[in-house]
Chain A
Amino acid sequence: MNCEECHEREASLHFTKIINGEKTEFHICEHCAKEKGEFLPGSNSFSIHQLLSGLLHGDGHVPNTPSSNFIPPSLSCEKCGMSYYQFAKIGRFGCDNCYKAFDSKLNPIFKRVHGGNTLHAGKIPLRAGSSIQEKKQLQQLKQAMQQYILNEEFEKAAETRDVIREIEHRLQQGRDT
Chain B
Amino acid sequence: MSLERFISDAISPWMKREGPESDIVLSSRVRLARNIQQYVFPIAADKESAHEVIASISSCMNEEKDAAESEKLEMLMMEELKPVQKRVLVEKHLISPNLAEQAKYGAVLMNADESVSIMLNEEDHIRIQCLAPGLQLEEVLGKANEMDDLIEKNVDYAFDEKRGYLTSCPTNVGTGLRASIMMHLPALVLTKKISRIIPAINQLGLAVRGIYGEGTEAQGNIFQISNQMTLGKSEEDIMEDLAGVVMQVIQQERSARKQLQDGLKLQLEDKLFRSLGTLENCRIIQSKEAAKCLSDVRLGIDLEILPGISKTILNELMILTQPGFLQQYAGEVLTPEERDIRRATLIRERIKLENR
Contacts and interface: CB of A to CB of B under 8 A. Distances in A.
Interface of A: 6, 31-32, 34-35, 37-38, 43-44, 46-49, 52, 79-82, 90-96, 99, 106, 109-110, 113-128, 132, 135
B169 A48 contact: yes
Please name the 4 residue pairs, one residue from A and one from B, whose CB atoms are nearest each other, closest first.
Answer: A117-B232, A120-B164, A96-B158, A94-B44
A52 B237 CA distance: 25
The interface residues of chain B, by DSSP majority, are classed as loop
Contacts of A46: 215
B69 interface: no
The interface residues of chain A, by DSSP majority, are classed as loop
B336 A35 contact: yes
A48 B167 CA distance: 15
Contacts, number: 154
Contacts of A123: 145, 148, 164-165, 175, 234-235
B288 A34 contact: yes
12 contacts: A31-B286, A48-B171, A92-B168, A92-B170, A95-B44, A99-B173, A109-B170, A114-B231, A117-B229, A119-B231, A122-B234, A123-B175
Interface string B195-236: 000000000010000001011100000000000111111110
Given A109-B170, A117-B233, A119-B162, A126 B44 contact: no
A46 B235 CA distance: 29
A35 B326 CA distance: 13
Given A99-B163, A110-B231, 16 more contacts: A34-B288, A43-B215, A44-B214, A48-B169, A52-B169, A91-B169, A92-B41, A92-B123, A99-B173, A119-B162, A120-B162, A120-B173, A123-B145, A123-B148, A126-B149, A127-B156
A117 B233 CA distance: 8
Residue among A37, A93, A117, A119 with the most chain B CB within 10 A?
A93
Nearest to A31: B336
Contacts of A6: 335-336
Nearest to B160: A99
B41 A126 contact: no
B177 interface: yes
B247 interface: no
A82 B157 CA distance: 20
A120 B163 contact: yes
Contact of B44 (A80, A120, A128): A80
A92 B123 CA distance: 9
A125 B216 contact: no
Given A52-B170, A125-B157, A120 B41 contact: no
B287 A94 contact: no
Given A82-B44, A90-B43, A118 B123 contact: no
